A = this chain, B = another copy of it.
Amino acid sequence: MNFRPKGIKDIAKALQISPSTVSRALTDQYGVSEETRRLVIDYAEKINYRANPSALGLKKRRNYSIGVVVCEIANNFFSQAIDGIDAIAYDKGYHVIVTQSHESFERELINIQHLASSAVDGLIVSLSAETLDLSCLKSLSEQGLPIVFFDRVPDNIDAHKVVANNRKGAFEATRHLVNSGCKYIAHLTCSSRLSIARERMIGYRQALLNAGFPFREQYVEHCDYGGKDQVEIEAAIGRLMCLPHPPDGIFVANDKLSTGALNALKQYDGDRQSTILLSGFTNSNLVGLFERKLIPVRQKAYEMGQKATELLIQLIESKSPVTDFETCMLDTELIGEDAAIQTVEKNGLKQLLQPLYI
């Protein structure tokens, strides 16, 4: 296979000048006569010249590419986030390399190491459900590899983080169930290793508290693999339905679990079907078509991807090492629940809005 793009030498030869002059014309601001510069640039454009990224990478120790690690691409939230990442990266001339952990720590680690070995200039990471050991990320970060975390972020690594306002989202979703008359509100969530699970739990509990409801341990079900397997969800729903007082409302903590719960509830097809209300985090834009209503908490996935990428590129292109890290929190939105917004102040949401991370 002999596909060989034109290089700087080809331009130099064609224009009868030296390669270094071409290089300067294409990069430097001065040191080249305006005449030569135009000549070079025009010709480069004509033949659609692009610097060889490998050579550039070798020279500059930069690849103009960023690595992304998420648990799964085929997921509404993440595919939207990747879309946002791609948008910014594209704008700034970076490539995006996406890898999936499939919720496996081992796979995540391999991906990270693979990407980090100088293939990429920085990393955007959302942790897997299995991840406990952060030493690799920590050490990479300390070695100076720019890393931005989003969505599922670590507590104990100092880095830029982009998250949704998980507490508020969870709070509003649960309060919606309260306002709809639910008395026994369950919570279906993912592994509490994940920041999102912990944060959303706080919102859930706060809403119960505000409503004067007790928090009951047995109404909380964890799917440690985030619903990777539907069986996991069905078992959890099954346990909830077997409680002395089965729940009349369920707040679900993530995308996969939300739709998984709907599927699981289909199994319990009896008269109870119509009485259990559901509200949960999901970025599916198909909820409006569902038979059983699910009040969705929507995250600004696209914007989160954008923001994470902006922060990362800023980090990459910063001359001096950055020590002042920022946690950026984006709003969530409870769809189809106008009433929810009106009573925000009254219900003590304000103190809730303070992030845990800072």
Q: Which residues of A contact B (CB under 8 A)?
A: 1-5, 48-58, 61, 63, 65, 72-76, 79-80, 82-83, 86, 90, 95-100, 113-114, 116-119, 140, 143-146, 259, 262-263, 266, 284-286, 288-292, 315-316, 318, 321
**Could you list 15 examples of A-B contacts with CB < 8 Å?**
A1-B146, A4-B118, A50-B117, A53-B63, A54-B54, A54-B55, A54-B56, A57-B57, A73-B73, A73-B82, A79-B79, A82-B98, A262-B289, A286-B290, A289-B290
Q: Are A58 and B55 in contact (CB under 8 A)?
A: yes
Q: Is the CB of B118 within 8 A of A5?
A: yes
Question: How many angstroms between the C-alpha atoms of A72 and B262 in the bound complex?
Answer: 27
Contacts of A291 in B (CB 8 A): 289-291
Closest chain-B Cβ to A129's Cβ sits at a distance in Å of 18
A116→B5 contact, CB < 8 A: yes
Taking a contact as CB atoms closer than 8 A, the residue among B50, B97, B113, B321 that contacts A113 in the complex is B50
**A75 to B: closest C-beta gap in Å:** 8
Q: In the complex, A55→B291 CA distance in Å?
A: 55
Inter-chain CA distance A63–B56, complex, in Å, is: 13
* Cβ contacts under 8 Å, A262 to chain B: 289
Residues of B within 8 A of A114 (CB): 50
Q: Residues of B contacting A1 with CB < 8 Å?
A: 144-146, 315-316, 318, 321
Q: Of B113, B118, B288, which is within 8 A of A54 by CB? A: B118
> Which listed residue (B2, B266, B285) contacts A144, Cβ 8 A?
B2
